[in-house]
Each structure stands twice: as C-alpha cells, then as structure tokens.
Homo-oligomer: A and B are copies of this chain.
Amino acid sequence: MEWHEIRDPKDPELDRLATRHHLHPLHIEDCRHRNQNAKVEESSGYLFAVLKTVEVAADDEVTVKELDMFLGRDFLITVEEPDCAASRSILAQVRAAAAGQRGDQLFYRITDGIVDSYLPVLDHFSEVIDQLEDQVLDRPTSEALSRIFETKRSLILLRRVLVNTRDVAGHLQRTECELIQREMWPFLRDVYDHVARNLDLVEMQRDLLTGSLDIYLSSVANRTNQVMKVLTVLGTIALPALVISSFYGMNVKGLPWIDSPHGMAIVSAVMAVTTVVLLVILRMMRWF
C-alpha cells in the first residue's frame, strides 16, 4: 500500500504516477483545471474522487478548494491545492495514524475529515444569522442588508458544495466497487448521514436568512409608518395654532376679541381646544 501525496497538481510526479497506474487523461486534466464539482468516478482499476474543502475568511467570505484522490488496489494518490491549510491539516492528521491501514480505510478517513471540517463553517453562519436577525429587527441599516446578501451568497456556494458531496457520499455508500471492502459500508453510510444533516442545516439557514430579509423589509415599512405618524401628530398639533395665529395677524377689521384685554388668553384657549379636538377625532377614527 503506497500513499503518494502530491502537493501541487503541476508536479510532474503526477504524470509519472498517471503513466504507471494507467490513470485516465481526463482525470489528470480534472486535477489540473480544478473547477470541478465534488464527484466520484469508477474507472478500470481505480476510483477517482474530487472533494471540496471550505474555509471562512475574516470577512465571512467562503473559499472553496479542491482535494483529489485516486484509490487503486495498492495505491492511494492525493492531490492538494498548493496553499490549502484545510486539506493540509486533514491529510497530516490521517497520515499520523496511517500505519497498517488499508487504502479504503485511509480514503474513508480523509473523506470523513473533510466532511467534519464543514461543521465549524456551518456553526459560524448559524451565529451570523442569529446576529443579523436581532440586528434587522432592532435597527434595519443598509450595512445589515449588505451583510444578509453576502451571507446568502456564501450559503448558495456552501449548499452547492454540500449537494455534490452528498451525491459523492451516496454513491460511495451504494458502491459495489471491489476496492472498498464491505466492512467499510456502515462507515460510509455514516459519512452520508453526516453530509445530509449538514445540507439540512444549510437549507434551514437559507430559510432563516430569507426570513431576515422579510424582517428587514417589514421593519423598514414599520418605521416609515411610525415616522409618518409622528409627522401627522406634529402637523395636528401645529396647524390649528398656525392657522389661528396667522388669522389674528391679518390687517382686517372685525376680528373677534381683538380689543379685549384677555385677547391672548381667549385665542390661546381656542387654539388648544381645536388641537385637542383634532387629536381626539384622529384617535377615534383609529388613525394612530
């Protein structure tokens, strides 16, 4: 059992191995072009799997990288992307306990390691969504809006990775390929369940995120509504006073109480009564 770790797909060692183990040229091309989805293909004499690692940067952006594997009867070839910390750490961990393991066991451990590495990413987004929900309900800013859409974008990407990985796990779980021994089946089913559960979670998160957007719109509509009410109340309080005092500013004859020494008091009373009546009418018509 040989395990070849290729750390850069451009390494000519990969060509040498391809010739020796009769790897299909399309698979070597896949390793080098690297815009594949996760997939698994059975070829004559070996199994070719493309898996995806996921990392979250500080600004919540998701980076997806690739890890390719060729599993043959007596060899395992792993092809990493040059600067992928995630694959590196998973492979190092599996390597540490690799002594005496069969190829299909190593293959399972690497797959399991990758699937496990999705969980912290999902947890991160669960938290982000929780925060966003509280924030938009409390104060719907355009920063929150922009963050909702960045998260949405990440979840779309994440979902795509998980859907394809689930198909890979589903294929492995049902495979009759002789390269994988029967005793590995419950373990591969376990991997499948794990991915399916993660996918479930992503769907739930997408659902909640869509909800956040609805909260956003509803919150903004609600606030606009309340601002309008303030304007209306201000208008209701000010307009009678304005109209009446303008009225008494006119240079016409015959204004009532104009010569009364209590003029100011009477007019002020009229203003107050008009305002109160107006407010009462509005409230009775349930306008605020």
Contacts of A245 in B (CB 8 A): 243, 246-247, 249-250
Instruction: Find out whether the CB atom of A137 lies under 8 angstroms from the CB atom of B133.
Output: no
Asked if A9 CB lies within 8 Å of chain B CBs, one says no
Query: Copy number in this complex?
Result: 5
* Given A190-B26, A252-B257, A254-B265, A227:B156 Cβ within 8 A: no
The reply to whether B208 and A218 contact each other, CB–CB distance below 8 Å, is no
On chain B, the residues within 8 Å of A37 by CB distance are: 193, 196-197, 200
CB under 8 Å from chain B, chain A span 218-232: 218-232
User: With the chains together, A204 CA to B132 CA distance in Å?
Assistant: 22
Nearest B-chain residue to A228, judged by Cβ: B227
Contacts of A287 in B (CB 8 A): 226-227, 230
With CB as the reference atom, state the residue of chain B lying closest to A265.
B254
Instruction: Give bound CA distance, A236 to B238, whole Å.
Output: 10
Q: Any chain B CB within 8 A of the CB of A160?
A: yes
Residues of B within 8 A of A152 (CB): 208, 211
A1-41 interface code vs B (CB 8 A; 1 in, 0 out)? 00000000000000000000000101000000001110101
B-side contacts of A219, CB under 8 Å:
142, 145
Contact, CB under 8 Å: B249 / A251: yes
Q: Say if the beta carbon of A259 comes within 8 Å of chain B.
A: yes
Give every chain B residue within 8 A of A288 (Cβ-Cβ).
227
Q: Interface code A228-264, partner B: CB below 8 Å = 1, 0 otherwise?
A: 1111101111111111011111111111111111111
Given A220-B225, A238-B240, 4 more A-B residue pairs with CB atoms under 8 Å apart are A137-B145, A241-B243, A248-B249, A250-B267
The 9 closest A-B pairs by CB, nearest first: A252-B263, A248-B250, A254-B264, A245-B246, A249-B249, A238-B239, A227-B228, A253-B263, A220-B221
